[in-house]
Every structure is written in C-alpha cells, then in structure tokens.
Amino acid sequence: MLRKFILRILKPKFLFRYIVKSKAKSCKGKLSVNGFSTVSNNTYLGYNVNFNGMKITGKGRCAIGDNFHSGTNCQILTDYHNYDCGSKIPYDNTFVVRDVTIEDNVWLGNNVIVLPGVKIGEGAVIQAGSVVVKDIPALSVAGGHPAKVFKMRDIEHYNKLKEQKLFF
C-alpha cells in the first residue's frame, strides 16, 4: 500500500535514481536510472551514468566510468561461491571476491552479464545477451557467451567525437 502511494507521488525514475545514489559508495553526478536498478555499497559511479535496469551485486569493488550506458536487465557480479576450496559440495558459504572495472564510454546491450574480475576497456560495446567472462580491450565490439571481440571501433572517429565532447 505504501509502495503504491510513493510510486504515485514520485515518478519511478526519480525513485530509482534515489535508490542507486543512496547505496553507491560514490557518484560523480548526472545519474539517469530509467528502470529499477540496485547497486552494492562498494559501487563507484562516474559522471553521466545511465542505467535501464541494472543489478550490481557482491562484496567486490565495481567502478564504472563516465558516459556509461546499459540496456535493460543487466547484471554485474563481484563475487562468486567458492566451489574449489570450500568445505562442502557443490559449494559452501564462502565467496571469492574479485573487482570489476568498466572504463569510460562503455555501452552494454540488454541482458548482459559481467562476471567477477573483468575489466571492460574504454569505448567498448557489448552485444545484447552476452556473458563477459574475461577482459575486453578498449574500443572493442564484443558479444556471445562467452563474449568475444569480433570487431574494433573506428578509432579516428571515436577520438574525434571524444575531443568534441559529443557524449550521449
């Protein structure tokens, strides 16, 4: 009942932004949250971050650079169950914690999952439905399960737009 009342008074995107800003460790500013999103308390957000339904979980550090965009239903994980050295099978209640770094000007398509320990380089684009299990170099276009680089962006065009500060 209270939730319905709050949603009627506040527009959902303002509420979604409040939820993310109040939980994140830091946010440089200009945060747009257009779909329900949650972050861990060890999340660092750059300037002009755009979530359209993001879930960041785990005890590891998640650092997202400036001008980041996500599609709907994306996930970033910063820890996983310890299945190798745990005390039970298939896993126990211990975790392996690994940080995730996403550099400036990265775009994740819909339903992308980023696993612990990954670094996505500046200007990379990750295709919808991909699972990122290892580092993706700067200016790459990657996709699949596991995500693999299949194309590079035009570096001259990218640098020209960046120099002119033409960010969406």
- Domain with residue 143: its CATH number is 2.160.10.10
Choice between 33 and 88, residue whose per-residue pLDDT is larger: 33
Residue 159, pLDDT > 60, answer yes
- Structural domain contains residue 84: yes
pLDDT score, position 2: 61
Q: How many domains does the chain have?
A: 1
State the residue for tokens 């999340």: 43
Active site residue 81: yes
Q: Which amino acid is it at 156?
A: E
- Structural domain contains residue 76: yes
Q: Which amino acid is it at 41?
A: N
For 55-65, how does the pLDDT look when each residue is reduced to its tens digit (9 = 90+)? 999 999 999 99
- Structural domain contains residue 109: yes
User: What percentage of the chain reaches a pLDDT higher than 90?
Assistant: 72
For 80-126, how does the pLDDT look when each residue is reduced to its tens digit (9 = 90+)? 998 888 788 888 888 999 999 999 999 999 999 999 999 999 999 99
- Structural domain contains residue 8: yes
Residue 9, pLDDT > 60, answer no
- Structural domain contains residue 128: yes
> Where on the phi/psi map is residue 127: left (φ > 0), alpha (ψ -120 to 50), or beta?
beta
- Structural domain contains residue 153: yes
- Structural domain contains residue 92: yes
Catalytically annotated residue among 69, 81, 145, 157: 81
Q: Report the pLDDT averaged over residues 126-153.
A: 97
Q: Residue 24 belongs to what domain range?
A: 2-163
- Structural domain contains residue 94: yes
